[in-house]
Structures are given as structure tokens and as C-alpha cells.
Structure 1
Amino acid sequence: MSVVPEAATWEPVPEDQLPPPVHIPADLVDQLERLALVDFRTKQGLACLEEAIRFADQLHAVDTSGVEPMDSVLEDRSLNLREDAVTEGDCAEELLQLSKHTVEEYFVAPPGEKKT
């Protein structure tokens, strides 16, 4: 018997269980635009950003008590990570051939449009 559910069990967290919506200061929006090369200055862009943050706020409602982290910045813990071994697929070369641009063993994304 598997402990993995056969169907997704996700449902939105009720608004009253979420932290208050975040106000994003203009200087932070400017910094995000420079880093992401995405225009958040439009009403639609800012609404999309706020909606994404609100969606991520649902993580605050997840009960993680009793769950050991798989990764930590603390050096005083022993972390039990699985061995990094290929268990299926092993088709990196074939996948890289599908891309127009690669450098060594990496995909190269085309540059985004930077609006000035």
C-alpha cells in the first residue's frame, strides 16, 4: 500500500489563515525589474507579482513540525541526503542536442528584452 495519494489533495488556504498582504515598495519593484528583466511597473505586472506572493504565503500554513530539513546552512547537523546517481533516463546528451544554444553541458537561454 502506497502512502502517496492517488490524486492531488491541494486546496487553497482560507484568507483568514494567511498573513496580511504585503505592500511592495517602489524601490523593491525597481530592483526586481533589474534582476528579472520583467516589467512590473504596469498595473497588470504589479498585480501578477502581488498574486504570486499571496500564493506563496500559503506555505506559512503548512505544518512542518516533525519534518527534518533535507538541507541546512548549519554545520552542526548530519544531513541524510540520497546518493546523487542516475537512476533512470541517462539521456543528457540527447536532451542537449534539442537546444539551439548550449555551452559545455548547459542550456543557454536567449537574452530577454530589456526595456529602457
Structure 2
Amino acid sequence: MLPPSTRITNSKVPRVATWEPVLENQLPPPSQVSVDLVDKLERLALVDFRNEEGLACLEKAIRFADQLHVVDTDGIDPMDSVLEERALYLREDAVAEGDCAEELLQLSKNTVEEYFVAPPGNIPLPKREERC
């Protein structure tokens, strides 16, 4: 933590966490998730959304993120990090354990030349026609 003399006093970040529920009428209309988008998301996220519960969970997550539309960001510059105003120091890198590559590689199903091999397809996804 910064010493009191160097703290930023005019920060727009509240000192205490706040939460005010966002009313439904403040949010944009609910997003309609197309079948093509679901296909893409399944492949990117490696999550199966093909049942009603999975699709409802996706729509609920999108609706939760819609709350960001009501946040007033006028006059706020984009940031790379919330710690832009602070000096970040690297710690010393001290090895506590090591020399166990052979043991770790034995945990893998497939290895090639002392490297782990990831499965090529991760999860099999059915064709759109096969979904209910």
C-alpha cells in the first residue's frame, strides 16, 4: 500500500464496495443468441450449450454483463491496469523445489520429446442437426 502522503485522494473508485441493483428497464433489450453464435461459443469456450439449461445459463450471463451499459464512464480515460498510478516491483524469483520433470511427465497421457501433448479436439461437439 502507498504511504498516506502519496495516495490518490480524488479517485473515482469508492473506498467501500457498493452494489445497487440495476432495474430491468435501465438495461438494453435482451440479446437474442443465434444458433451460429452458440456454435462458435461452444468451440471457443469448450462448453456444451446444446441443452436448455446451458442456453439459459449463457443468456443469464449475457444479461448480467448488460449491466455494464448503464455504468457512467463519461470523462474516464481507458486504462491498461487499475494500478497505473503505482510503481510495480518484481519480487526475487527463488526456486523452492525443482528437478522433477520426469515425475511430472509421467502424469501425462501423451508426451513427445519431454513435452506434454494436448488432445487435438478437446471435446467432441455434435453437428447442429443432431442437437435438440
Q: Is this a same-fold pair by TM over 0.5?
A: yes
2:88 equivalent in structure 1: 85
- Give, in whole Å, the separation in 1 of the partners of 2:35 and 2:85: 43
Q: CA deviation at 1:68?
A: 1.3
Change in CA separation of 1:16 and 1:36 when aligned onto 2, cut-off 3 Å = same
- Give, in whole Å, the separation in 1 of the partners of 2:50 and 2:73: 36
TM-score computed with the length of structure 1 as normaliser: 0.63
Residues paired across the two proteins, number: 94
- Give, in whole Å, the separation in 1 of the partners of 2:93 and 2:44: 29
2:51 equivalent in structure 1: 42
Q: Deviations over 1:70-91 (max 9, x none)?
A: 25xxxxxxxxx5577326xx37
Q: CA deviation at 1:115?
A: 2.9
- Give, in whole Å, the separation in 1 of the partners of 2:67 and 2:33: 18
Letter in 1 for 2:68: L
- Give, in whole Å, the separation in 2 of the partners of 1:64 and 1:46: 31
Change in CA separation of 1:11 and 1:93 when aligned onto 2, cut-off 3 Å = farther
CA RMSD of aligned residues (A): 3.5
Identity %: 53
Q: Which runs of 5+ in 2 are unaligned?
A: 99-103, 106-115, 126-132
Change in CA separation of 1:86 and 1:24 when aligned onto 2, cut-off 3 Å = same
Q: Which runs of 5+ in 1 are unaligned?
A: 72-80, 102-107
Higher RCO (CA < 8 A, seq sep 6+): 2
1:19 equivalent in structure 2: 28
Task: Point out 4+ residue stretches in structure 1 off by more than 2 angstroms.
Answer: 1-6, 81-87, 90-95, 110-113
TM-score computed with the length of structure 2 as normaliser: 0.56
